[in-house]
Structure 1
Amino acid sequence: MKLAVFSHCAVDTITLDNQNYEQIGGSACYCGITARQFKFDVDLYTKFGPDFPKQYLIENKINSIHSESQKPTTRFSISVEGSDRTLKLEHECDPIDYASASADGHMVSPIYHEISEETFKKIKNDSNFLFVDPQGFLRQKDPQNNIVLEKTNLDLSHVNAIKVNPDEGKQFVDCSDDELMLALQKKGAEYVLLTNKTEVSMLVKDKVYSISLPNKQIHDTTGIGDIFCSAFCCTMLKEKDFLWALCFAGGAAQAALDSKNVGLQKIPKKGNIQTNASYFYNLVKFRDL
């Protein structure tokens, strides 16, 4: 099976416990490498500059499409404290060129303005199953280049699944968690995933399904959401079962956190994800909404 991923690669400087780690990343890398753990072929629609180690993608058998730019790669400085992160934009690469993508599923997960509304519309027209993490549509920078979130009228028609956290959700509609999920459903999303640190909820039709990740010591959280999204998307495409997809997504996030690794090194192996997924499957709670 094949997954098409639309997102920028990045070079991140992660500050954790007073130490700096320069890591390649971006949703493009986290989602793509996670999908490879699920044995998916990956077509990556991205942009990066001469400063990005393209060989890393080649070694992981990720096919990058129209990806090379003369501009430096998008860069962030990321400060991690517990489960909270602050981001500063250091550089922004070129927008992603649209190209028709023949794949079983499409993931749109921008990190900062690389996908235009017109490109997003074309992706929606191409896709059989579309998962959206809207973070990069919502991000703006203040005068000091710190990342802040801004309200959006993003068109979610023809979107199959969306993942937001509470802060991102408020940029669509400022209301309670349940009202937020209903509002995103009414905007077009069939599966609405809300992640609030260790609490994960999913609205499907008129029911909310939820799991809780074990509350252990948290290390580097960079990319955890991307790993979660990619695991959900791949499982949904393979198994056609939203409960298993939820559990595999939670299992992937938990395995990544358990690794205590920094950057892309935290992406877990399929076996670890599956063990956690089986654990979560027996603990799923549900309620009517």
Structure 2
Amino acid sequence: MKYAFTKMHGLGNDFVVFDAFSQPLELTPEQFRHIGDRNFGIGCDQILLVEPPTLPDTDFNYRIFNADGDEVEQCGNGARCFARYVHDKGLTDKREIRVGTKAGVITLLMEADDMIRVNMGVPVLEPGQIPFVADQAAAEYQVEVQGETLTLGVVSMGNPHAVMVVDNLEHAPLEQIGSALQQHPRFPQRVNVGFMQILSADAIALRVFERGVGETLACGTGACAAVVSGRLRGLLNKTVKVSLPGGSLMIEWPDEQAPVLMYGPAASVFEGSIEL
């Protein structure tokens, strides 16, 4: 059967988006892996499904599948693409959209300058809810990895993130450390690993090694988690420019009780159909 799709990206973090709102759509993990394959399928970091709402007072439901076929809880760059998609397809004319995800409800706002603001909710810092194995919440944790002790910030933005501060981002051991932490027993649901270089109190550079994907050109939840971790360590101000390989996001986090706000672009690349 043929399925129509739209290829999109947020700062180079690329997605295949399917309309499961107008008609039901059920795909298998094998089909998701085929779609995500850059040689034999369409190719993407993640597949997004736009579905009818399942939670009260929401406009849509949003599901996210990694290129390896696993369903995940949240994706910030994907959320911006989601907002662009439902507007471009005429599925809503609202400027502010409430969307249900596996991690809870998020709010998407189409700004006047064509940027998209995402209210990512209040970050989760309690280890058991991230999930992360630790006795109590802290700004930093010591984790043994491959014979060395790493200092990490650990945050959930609806999905788990570990954040390392590095002096030189270009030479950071992304794949080596990222792969080891994803298999670490202290992260029972694996983890996205961010490598953060502090440029100033208002700016960071970031690379992210994502679960089920590897390094991506951008990671919205990773940018949020990095700013939260940097703020908890006393390194960053309330509003921070996050420079990723694919471009920049603006992240705001006033305090521990406040939601994290993310501002950035989203773009459609092309449309097509695929036989599955």
Normalising by the residue count of structure 2, what TM-score does the alignment of the two structures yield?
0.29
Structure having the higher helix fraction is 1
Normalising by the residue count of structure 1, what TM-score does the alignment of the two structures yield?
0.28
